[in-house]
Amino acid sequence: MGFSSALQGRAAHEALIVRQDAELRLMETMKRSIQLKAKCDREYAIGLAAVAQQGMKTDRADEMQGSLITKAWRSYMDELDHQAKQFKSNAELLEVVCEKLTHLSQDKRKARKAYQEEHAKIAARLNHLTDEVVRKKAEYQKHLEGYKALRTRFEEHYIKSGRGGRKLDDVRDKYQKACRKLHLTHNEYVLSITEAVEVEKDFRTVLLPGLLEHQQSVQESFILLWKNILQETSQHGDLTSDKFKEIQKRIDNVINSINPSEEYREFTEKHNYSLYRTSPTTPLVFQFDDALIEDIPGKLQSNTLTVDNLTVDWLRTRLIDLEMSVKECQEKQLKMIEHANGGSPIANGSIARNGSTASNGIQSPKDSQNRQSKDLNALRCQEKQKQKLVDMIKCALNEIGCEELPSGCDDHLEQNFIENSFNNDQQQNSATSTNSTGVSIINELRRRGGVLTLLRGRPFKRKSTPQPTTPTVNRMRTQRFNKLQPRSQSLGSLSMSLSTNRPLYEEEWFHGVLPREEVVRLLNNDGDFLVRETIRNEESQIVLSVCWNGHKHFIVQTTVDGHFRFEGPPFPSIQELIMHQYQSELPVTVKSGAILRRAICRERWELSNDDVVLLEKIGRGNFGDVYKAKLKSTKQDVAVKTCRMTLPDEQKRKFLQEGRILKQYDHPNIVKLIGICVQKQPIMIVMELVPGGSLLNYLRKNSNSLTTRQQMGMCRDAAAGMRYLESKNCIHRDLAARNCLVDFENSVKISDFGMSREEEEYIVSDGMKQIPVKWTAPEALNFGKYTSLCDVWSYGILMWEIFSKGDTPYSGMSNSRARERIDAGYRMPTPENTPPEMYRLMLKCWCAEAEARPHFDEIYNVVDALIIRLDNSH
């Protein structure tokens, strides 16, 4: 039984402080007693020496020559003198022991103070968050009252004024501001509750037990040193007579019975079993006060973040701040782990040396390890708390997806005003026989676009995207570094390139912002090289990448006068610098020895950013917006996915993963890659434009006109595409109607390969975040193991979506509930008008055992045979 399990209560904490105070007082008593004993021994030594000196003064000693009695007496007096010297030496050693006890007392006071400060620190954070929750709730109530008052005032002015006016505009502005404040306060209240729950849990289960466990280790270290001091005190008082031997034996037995690990047993048991028993701290419950939002229909929900046009910017800013805090915690943890592995001790105080006596340092290796573990636990708790908030905000933002942001104002007011105004118009029309000359409120609302237009101000007008005016240089890609003439001959195509003074991004060997992983893949032989751009600390840098005993990357240095160099002479342009390194055959740097031999030019699917003209935004993805665009060179309409420039390199690599997979596939039921644009920011993936758009939206829009034959054809198209992917060992991992596109004549193409992996089996190592639970096979959810048979399960869900004409799978169930039901054997019922053979195929795709599911080749043959039989029957 230890401190961490028995001393968590407030009373136990105070008792531990009292115990430490009592120990400090005992140390002071011991110190005074040892000082007094040393003084007595010193005085006794002086008296004994005086006795021996006095005994030597014998009268007429010459008369006693040869006397055995005289000789024995003199020997006796000599031994008394030796005994006096021994007592003096023991007194001096007791003073050293007393000094050690003084240092031990000082270190114990420091340890007591450190424990109190640490305990107060972790308790203060919990108290602070508790007060913060109360304060946020009070703010919530305040803004809620203001919001209600302004909403009522706005409704009254709007009904009275009818067409509007300056006064109505002022009331509308105040109401909108109150609405914004209420929503922001709501989010702050939800976040503060979430954080308080995490902090309280960590205080009770990690931080406080860790602090108490560390304190127990420190206390036991003091007991061990205390025991050593008592042993030294005992040794310095040890006499040789039988009488004192018996006393000494009893003292030794008592002292040797001291066991540091048993020192606090009685103390802890007393507080665990006595009438004043201290049980673990009772968890504090933090709950959202639902009474705050009882009369606000639909907008604000308890324990749920509100994402709308009033709060989205604040949420994104808060998300960035929290992610930075998580990163800082992770860096601190890494430093602590590296420090611990390096064997550097963490000093916590020690007893100073005195003469030749060894130092009695209280910080043993065990103590150091315990303290490191305690501090590391505190950082991990802090990281987990912040990550909880990060996940909550990300989840709220991800739910919006590509949809329009909802308005923060009360949309339902518009309908109420319209209905009330329409009733007023009817009453006015019935009271008069002629047409009213005034404009009715209902017509005015329709003319202005509804009450929400009044609330939000003027309608937003989209600015047209300016078209680039500079034509793209269209040149043949035959003049490449790898086709240069021998070095002894002319400079070949490179000299021609230099004479044109064209910008760097037009050079075939310049690969733009292509990620390093792609660069390494292109450079295979010693001497292969290319030039690229990288962004560091929001600054652009040009990098020369060379394959030479591995892969080396050299940043092009810029001189004061704007020239470029490595270690050699500077040149006015990067092209001339690269030509110099290539032609001279000199190493880029002496240390690397890397020599340029063969320039690697852009691959055919690396397009120029200037060759793509963005026309209109048609959606939004995880990494950026999706546009309809046109290629200048071919006038072809294309779809373009863009990657936000502010994303970190890791996210940009994930963005380009889809392009890297698609570039090698060619199948009519797989969306085709046209190219990627990495010369400039933003990075773009250019794909064929599939006119029908998302299969999910197509199913919902055309639910009344779709025939069974068309639905079966869609299933066959999807099976054909997946059969092709399975033959390429590609696991899609996100097959669903939302990730399929519809071409002419209802032809379906598989799209969105952002989660795909080119492996026979893929094990998730980065967690299960953003996994489409209702489309994912049980073995992938439970064990993180993906195979092509997991895509078969998802294909069964896709079939269900097609025949339900776009319904949501497991409707009415949360992800966790659906997962529980599936593990228990539940399978969705057949959609209406689904052929029995197709539903039986769905059930086969949903077999709990992956090996029992059909492969896509078998699925395609079954669906194709069913379509042929259906066609023949007609």
Q: Look at residue 140 and tell me whether its pLDDT is greater than 70.
A: yes
Greater confidence, 81 or 266? 81
pLDDT band at 270 (very low <50, low <70, confident <90, very high): low
Asked which of 368-377, 708-717, 804-813 is least confident by mean pLDDT, the reply is: 368-377
Q: Among 714, 711, 686, 703, which residue's Cα sits nearest to residue 627?
A: 686
Q: What is the pLDDT of residues 559-592, one digit of tens each?
A: 988 899 998 899 999 999 999 999 999 999 998 9
Q: Among 717, 711, 716, 725, which residue's Cα sits nearest to residue 755?
A: 725
| Backbone phi and psi for residue 628, each to the nearest 5 degrees, phi listed first | -85, 135
Q: What is the pLDDT of residues 699-724, one digit of tens each?
A: 999 999 999 999 999 999 999 999 99
**What pLDDT score was predicted for residue 420?**
44
**What pLDDT score was predicted for residue 83?**
76
CA distances for 265 relative to 6, 21, 61, 260, 826, angstroms: 11, 18, 66, 10, 55
**What pLDDT score was predicted for residue 757?**
59
pLDDT band at 824 (very low <50, low <70, confident <90, very high): very high
Query: Locate tokens 């240089």: which residue?
Result: 473
Q: What's the whole-number mean pLDDT along residues 176-184?
A: 92
**What pLDDT score was predicted for residue 406?**
56
Three-state DSSP class for 617? strand
Say whether 695-873 and 481-582 share the same fold: no
**What pLDDT score was predicted for residue 594?**
94
pLDDT band at 496 (very low <50, low <70, confident <90, very high): very low
Angstrom distance (rounded) from CA 301 to CA 324: 28
**What pLDDT score was predicted for residue 831?**
94
**What pLDDT score was predicted for residue 754?**
65
pLDDT band at 488 (very low <50, low <70, confident <90, very high): very low
Q: Look at residue 125 and tell me whether its pLDDT is greater than 70.
A: yes
**What pLDDT score was predicted for residue 770?**
66
> Omega before 682 cis (within 30°)?
yes
pLDDT band at 433 (very low <50, low <70, confident <90, very high): very low
* Catalytic site residue from 367, 717, 734, 791: 734
**What pLDDT score was predicted for residue 297?**
59
756 CB burial (10 A radius; 0-12, 13-18, 19+): buried
Range of 349-358, 367-376, 811-820 with top mean pLDDT: 811-820
pLDDT band at 456 (very low <50, low <70, confident <90, very high): very low
Locate all alpha helices (DSSP H) within 702-741, ordered by sequence: 708-727
Q: What's the whole-number mean pLDDT along residues 545-554?
A: 93
Q: What is the pLDDT of residues 718-755, one digit of tens each?
A: 999 999 999 988 888 889 999 899 988 889 999 887 66
Asked which of 267-271, 484-488, 537-541 is least confident by mean pLDDT, the reply is: 484-488
How many Cα neighbours within 13 Å face the side chain of 496? 12
Q: 500 and 619 in contact (C-beta within 8 Å)?
A: no
Q: Among 592, 600, 647, 602, which residue's Cα sits nearest to residue 621?
A: 647
Domain residue spans of the chain: 3-20+112-351+361-384, 481-582, 607-688, 695-873
pLDDT band at 3 (very low <50, low <70, confident <90, very high): confident
Q: What's the whole-number mean pLDDT along residues 43-66?
A: 76
**What pLDDT score was predicted for residue 64?**
65
Angstrom distance (rounded) from CA 602 to CA 451: 55
Angstrom distance (rounded) from CA 797 to CA 738: 12
Q: What's the whole-number mean pLDDT along residues 120-125?
A: 88
Please state which CATH number belongs to domain 481-582.
3.30.505.10
Q: Look at residue 434 and tell me whether its pLDDT is greater than 70.
A: no
Q: What's the whole-number mean pLDDT along residues 801-829?
A: 93
Angstrom distance (rounded) from CA 195 to CA 852: 45
Q: Among 599, 451, 453, which residue's Cα sits nearest to residue 525?
A: 599
Q: What's the whole-number mean pLDDT along residues 616-643?
A: 87
Locate all alpha helices (DSSP H) within 237-311, ordered by sequence: 242-256, 265-273
Strand order in the sheet with 673-677: 606-607, 673-677, 684-688, 637-642, 625-631, 612-620
Q: Look at residue 598 and tell me whether its pLDDT is greater than 50.
A: yes
**What pLDDT score was predicted for residue 254?**
63
Q: Among 514, 719, 710, which residue's Cα sits nearest to residue 605?
A: 514
Q: 676 and 683 in contact (C-beta within 8 Å)?
A: yes
The single-letter code of the amino acid at 21 is: D
Work out the mean pLDDT of the chain and round it to a whole number. 78
Range of 440-449, 568-577, 602-611, 662-671 with top mean pLDDT: 568-577
Q: Look at residue 760 and tell me whether its pLDDT is greater than 60.
A: no
Superfamily of domain 695-873: Transferase(Phosphotransferase) domain 1 (1.10.510.10)
User: Any known ligand binding at 641?
Assistant: yes
Q: 584 and 487 in contact (C-beta within 8 Å)?
A: no
User: Cα(first)–Cα(last) distance of the chain, in Å?
Assistant: 82
Q: What's the whole-number mean pLDDT along residues 635-647?
A: 87
Q: What is the pLDDT of residues 666-683, one digit of tens each?
A: 899 998 888 888 877 888
pLDDT band at 825 (very low <50, low <70, confident <90, very high): very high
Q: Look at residue 544 and tell me whether its pLDDT is greater than 60.
A: yes
Share of the chain above pLDDT 70, in %: 77
Share of the chain above pLDDT 90, in %: 31
**What pLDDT score was predicted for residue 822?**
94
Q: What's the whole-number mean pLDDT along residues 615-620?
A: 86
Q: 199 and 129 in contact (C-beta within 8 Å)?
A: yes
Report the 10 Å Cβ neighbour count for 107. Answer: 22
425 annotated active-site = no
For domain 3-20+112-351+361-384, say whether CATH 1.20.1270 is its number. yes
Angstrom distance (rounded) from CA 760 to CA 731: 7
Please tell me the total number of residues recorded for the chain in this structure: 874
pLDDT band at 846 (very low <50, low <70, confident <90, very high): very high
Q: Which fold has domain 607-688?
A: Phosphorylase Kinase; domain 1 (3.30.200)
Q: Look at residue 493 and tell me whether its pLDDT is greater than 50.
A: no
